[in-house]
Structure 1
Amino acid sequence: MPQFTLLAIFVSLLSLSLSSSSAVDFLFNSFNSSDLLLVGDAGIGSSILRLTNSSNYDSFGRAFFPTRLPILSSSSMPNSSLSSFSTSFVFSILPDIPSSPGFGLAFVLSNTTSPPGAISGQYFGLFSNDTHQVPGPLLAVEFDTGQNPEFNDPDGNHVGIDLNFIISTVTHTAGYYRAPANGSASSELEFVTIDMRSGKNVRAWIEFDGPRFQINVTIAPAEEPKPPRPLISYTDPVIANYVSPEMFVGFSGSMVKWVEHQRILDWSLSNTGSPARELNTSNLPLFLPPVTPSSSIPPIGLIVGVSCGSFALLLLCFLGLYCYCRRKKRAKILEERREEEDEEDGEEWELKYWPRRFSYQDLSRATDGFSRERLLGFGGFGKVYRGVLPISISKGIEGNENEEEEEEVAVKCVSHDSRQGLKEFMAEISSMGRLQHRSLVPMRGWCRRNNELMLVYEYMPNDSLNHWLFPSGDKAAKPMDWATRRRVLSDVAEGLLYLHTGWEQVVLHRDIKTSNILLDKEMRGRLGDFGLAKLYERGAAPSSTRVVGTLGYLAPELAVRAATTAASDVYSFGVVTLEVVSGRRPIEAAETVEEEDWLLVEWVRGLYAEGRLIEAKDARVEYGAEAEEEVELILKLGLACCHPEPERRPEMNEVVALLVEATRSPVNL
């Protein structure tokens, strides 16, 4: 408790700089474009705030009250270090396709209108896909309409409190408490669930009690009064770590591919000590799924005829389904028996490739039952765990005398509901299983247990290049030096050259970025994550039906044709090169740079045109006099790889040659 007291006193002292008259009290029963600060795809139409744009494949939007909200009070008393506020709003969430994955929206307190690294989809346009808490402060109440097992979501319809991290600190299924129905004399409150994806208007109340370090969240149908008990009541002094003296307050939402309309209909907030002003919910519009109008009542004879025919058809379908399920169950039993008998010999497709099959029991023991403490990260595929296997198991060495000798591995578990799944899993097996190069992450083997799919890799102890270029915590004080950066670029270029020309087929990686470049114990770069890789016979024309990859690294020609080529990989490598040399992300947050400098490639290209290319180097890194000429040369190489015309980009053999010769003599690009 002494630590908490010191923290409270320290926060109180900081709060003395704030004005006691910083009162915020507003009520929006409808919205105008001048009422809010809109970011991304957020917009206002028909007096209603919408957070995403249904015409965009990848959309996010944020809306904030223009004035920052004081969070540290002016009182010097320790128990009053944080100020309080209450807010209420009505929201509506409606997907175009009810069965599509859901996303939801979030009420947010943020130190900035553009949180660093924020991405769309299930991240609400607020969080990145880092596996640890990112610098904030950022506090959100999520109204989540999708279930993501990698985030420990309890279901696809829940409310949670997030502290600088996408994994909620506390969650609860969406619903509200009310007095028992039917006049029951019981004093127990009845819990009623709310389907937040129905399009129906839902009202939320959030009370931030600063002196008690408490957040209360309550929801109910918009037409219902405020329930007698909060859905979530979270109390912890740690809340003080996730706020700043003044913060933006508002909403954020995002989506990818599947359209989900996220609307805010009205909003009130007050930090004056009184509850937020009452909303007018009586005349709010309703956004419900379209209903096909019914036609006139058909004749009774037609009804009887159709009913009999439907019953007969239903009976036939039932009998057919029964026979199908019985046959499928029998086939599954036979398959499981055959799998048990032939597990040591491997499956038919396993014999074609070199990775060996591990048992599920071995991988479970290696990762402590896939415990959260062993979690390395998560993404589109699912979760990745660090494991420890005996050498005899990891490398298949029989008769190993030293049974205590062990090796660290990384185990990638493909999610059941992953949008990639078995097809991409097989892509990694078929490509990584036979590709062997010092600049590729080595694959040890695989495992399948029913529908659970796992890949086993050699463990890369130094994380990804992304974490070294944009460090946090202990790494922040010591950025990666120039010699290591240049060596990693050479490693990745050699690996990419092998994929394009060094194997029996052409392998297009299609997702080259700094987070997919891992560093081994010697800080050498290894290209990994082949889940989107595409293999082609030499001389064949690449073809594809959809664009894959990561925004900021995608070649411009993919906007008009989906077919990735080797030149598209070269463009992505060029972006990585500029990112490594400059220490800037491909797309910068709006608040950190000038508006015209958001795109890294365009920013570097502009400096080159003005004869100031060397100014693009990372200011955090120390360079010698000789190194600056090398830095400028590699920046020119990155720009050449990012040429807007694919045919004018260098091939990877030329890139490797230039990197090797970079320190020997200047090369005119």
Structure 2
Amino acid sequence: MHQSLIMDDKTRSIISLILFLLLTIPARAQRTTTETPTTKFIFRGFNGSESDIRTQGAAMIKPDGLLRLTDRNQNVVGTAFYNKPVRLLDTNNTSSTNNTVRSFSTSFVFVIIPSSSSNGGFGFTFALSPTPYRPGADPEQFLGLLNKDNDGNSTNHVFAVEFDTVQGFKDGADSSGNHIGLNFNSLKSAYQEPVVYYDNDGPNRKEDFRLQSGEPIRAHLDYDGPTQTLNFTVYPAKSRSRPIRPLISQLPVPNLSQIVQEEMYVGFTAATGRESSAHYVMGWSFSSGGDRPIADTLELSELPPAPPNKAKKGGYNSQVIALIVALSGVTVILLALLFFFSMYKKRLQQGEILEDWEINHPHRLRYKDLFAATDGFSEDRIIGTGGFGTVFRGNIASSPSNQIAVKKITPNSMQGVREFIAEIESLGRLRHKNLVNLQGWCKHKNDLLLIYDYIPNGSLDSLLYSVPRRSGAVLSWNVRFQIAKGIASGLLYLHEEWEQIVIHRDVKPSNVLIESDMNPRLGDFGLARLYERGSQSNTTVVVGTIGYMAPELARNGKSSSASDVFAFGVLLLEIVSGRRPTDSGTFFLADWVMELHASNEIIRAVDPRLGSGYDEREAKLALGMGLLCCHQRPASRPSMRMVLRYMNGDEDVPQIDDNWGYSDSSSRSEIGSKFEGYVSSDRASGSVASFSVTRISSSSVMSGR
């Protein structure tokens, strides 16, 4: 019995030991698990992460998934922290000096875009903070992390990796503006290195690059708690692999344990100042706890696209800009005064006084520029010859298309001078898509020059007659009809839509130039007259070209918008028929078309070269419209506004009455004799863009203008 009692005591001891172990081991395991929590997250872009990231200030999550810390506005702060605190401190001892910072690792891809190609600032930080916000933090050198009052204060409990793009706060004169720094409770970096990475082709081969390049950049931070070693690496994201050698490697980092509290928040801060940059984070991963935590790798292909690298122009603040503008303004005024004084002195020396028309029309080009643009007015540059001058093609940088047409007025021609002034006064102020644009003028000694847009397709006259003879290429019906409508639109602008009434007085195919897209432009305003609305034209001299001149000009010589309509009517018949308005005197186009109309055969007037490739309805409309515009009585002719309505099909063309026609051929002869000596046929070359004017005696022009 004694033996059994002894065995019972031993059994009870063993049982008690087993129970003790069973109860205490799980408790210790549970406590160990509680004391060593891990944090791990990865953001491959930030769409849908609004609840996981706390943003403040200028920071925001963009619709494209980028985390923007700041835009390029001046003096702004932006912060973005992970929403949950991270347990980073082991407190196994009562003394805070023996606390250990747990191992952690982070990786992120960022982009910094400066305001201009040379200026930007101030940078951003990756930070450990006791709070998810940085209240009271300042912009500029304080990077949205601290301010001038708490900088360096041991109660901050802030650790930051500083990505600085300007010279750092409290940095020495030898500090680089493009650097990485490790900051402990202060913006003064305890460790600092210029931004480089070590090429894996050689362990000591350094490659530098700019943080604010506008290109994606990778950053890796690894802290080993047991050894207190911190390794930091930064390099362009386009590099093939992560450098083996880090940019910063510090062993140990003892003061980190004095900063880190039991729970910390991880995130980013950024700021701008008078200099500014946009700061973006494309992706971010973090891991802490465990033996050697490693943050997950971020693949560029899995991240949102990098923001466009579009730097704002100008990197000066408003005061500098104001000073530059003020100095520039003073300089311009002084130079202008010097220029006008020099010109005035030169005029006095030459005994030349500017006329009124020269003062009122300032688009004057320099003769030497035009001389150079036309290779000294070389014969190889000639593209047309008219009654009062020669047209040259030129190349000049100040022209919108780099090409110009320069009309050189024939010297010692009084009519040429009058035409020169007339074109400047009229065409110089007109702007319409169906009018030739006068770019400027030049008066040099006896040379008078007019500068126009160069129009490569030449004149309508050449496209109707010369080109088909050379190459067989005939204008299609659609092109002809659109050209006619364009000319009508230009005349409507002259007659009704500009501030004054402009009578062209020389509407004909050689004065219509065709652009590359077949848009017509009416030019050659040397015979044009301007007068105020409500007043009457007092011109009494007959000018124009035989075949396009209205019959009333033979009686009173007074041109009007109706006489322009008559010329347009002849031109319209010419476009449809492909025949000139008159020959040696036995054929008149309008009479011929009227005869066909009277015999219900008007469609025979269509250019036979078109074959069946035309719209019969439009052809009949155009021929009827041409006859109506050529009516013998001016009051029976439609306005150009009505012409366009008829051609657009908005209204039907009225019937031509029996009293439309010209009188017999004797009347024609009378008109011809009346004009003889005052008017001749157009002698301009029709193969190229020309700006010719019908020759008229100088005496008639002087008395009529």
State whether TM-score is above 0.5. Answer: no
What TM-score bracket applies, with the shorter chain setting the length? 0.3 to 0.5
Q: Highest Rg: 1 or 2?
A: 2
Normalising by structure 1, we get a TM-score of 0.45
Q: Which has the higher contact order (CA 8 A, sep 6+)?
A: 2
